[in-house]
Amino acid sequence: MANSEPAPRISDLLRLPAGAVDLQAIDTRATPGFTGSGKADATTAICHLRPHLADMQEQLYAEGRTGGQRSLLLVLQGMDTAGKGSTVKHVVGLLDPMGVQYHAFKQPTIEEREHHFLWRVKRRLPPPGIVGVFDRSHYEDVIVVRVHELVPPETWSCRYSVINRFEGKLVASGTRVVKCFLHISKEEQRRRLLARLDDPAKHWKYNPGDVDERAYWDEYQQAYSDAFAQCNTDAAPWYAVPADRKWYRNWAVTKILTERLDEMALTWPNPQGWNPDKERARLAPDGWA
């Protein structure tokens, strides 16, 4: 019976297929897998996911504190205004900050430019037990760098395989890599830029340079599409999250994170080097021992 089938995993629904990707064919206002009716339902659904998500994060943290090697890296990419920062606030904000390591990658500094493009990335990888969050990432080195011809094509085109090897090793060493592309339409970006102009509380987010970047929309989409075709491995898959509806984006990234943590089959670590009964005996009220 159809209604007894398990609900599809959002990470399966949003996983980009292998090979060439037509980003234009993806509806950025779609809400795949969401059965509620809008923002209020999505907010409630996120509230319901939170306790389990928080437990798993704590188990991961506890594992890291007791000799485990595993961690998780959430990579967020998207056009300007796609909502990377907002996803950090609403989704990563559900987690205990003690177990989170966030980093936003900006234009490389002079020092960073002197090194291999992965140098600054390797320094920010999450240690055992930690959920790392990359707001932009090494993918900028095959995207903005390509669009603005910051290096010659023979340089950026070699980077795909370098990235695949790097991510493969990262996964083999115990880091789960979850890459989310927050996919908005050009029209939605226009609306969001206008909203930033209209609201003085959003002026700080407005960057006139974003309007200049808009002129390169198609080039960015092409660069993203090629990056996904080249670097969407089973070890480190890409998810395309329709992001015109902010509430769907937040719910979908929360679900993907939950599902990928579920796969880790996390548990509470056993006591190491001590025995609860013996410790309890040592805590007998004074005078009883």
Residues forming contacts to Mg ion in the complex (CB under 5 A) are 80
If binding is defined by CB under 6 A, does position 123 make contact with ligand AMP? no
Of residues 136 and 245, the one with the C-beta less far from Mg ion? 136
Distance between CA 210 and CA 81 in Å, rounded? 9
Of residues 83 and 242, the one with the C-beta less far from ligand AMP? 83
User: What is the amino acid identity at position 260?
Assistant: R
Pick one of 24, 107, 161, 267: the residue that binds ligand AMP (CB under 6 A): 107
Distance between CA 86 and CA 84 in Å, rounded? 5
- Structure letter (DSSP) for residue 83: S
Of residues 148 and 191, the one with the C-beta less far from ligand AMP? 148
Question: Per-residue x/- marks for ligand AMP, 149-178, CB under 6 A?
Answer: -x----------------------------
Q: How many residues does the chain have?
A: 289
Torsion of CA 104, 220, 225, 155, to 10 degrees: -80
Of ligand AMP, Mg ion, none, which one does residue 167 interact with (CB within 5 to 8 Å by kind)? Answer: none
Pick one of 61, 77, 100, 141: the residue that binds ligand AMP (CB under 6 A): 141
Of ligand AMP, Mg ion, none, which one does residue 226 interact with (CB within 5 to 8 Å by kind)? Answer: none
For residue 136, the Cα-to-chain-centroid distance in whole angstroms is: 9
Look-up of token digits 């993918």: 139
Smallest gap from Cβ 207 to Mg ion, in A, equals 5
Angstrom CA distances, 17 to 23, 153, 164, 259, stand at 11, 25, 16, 18
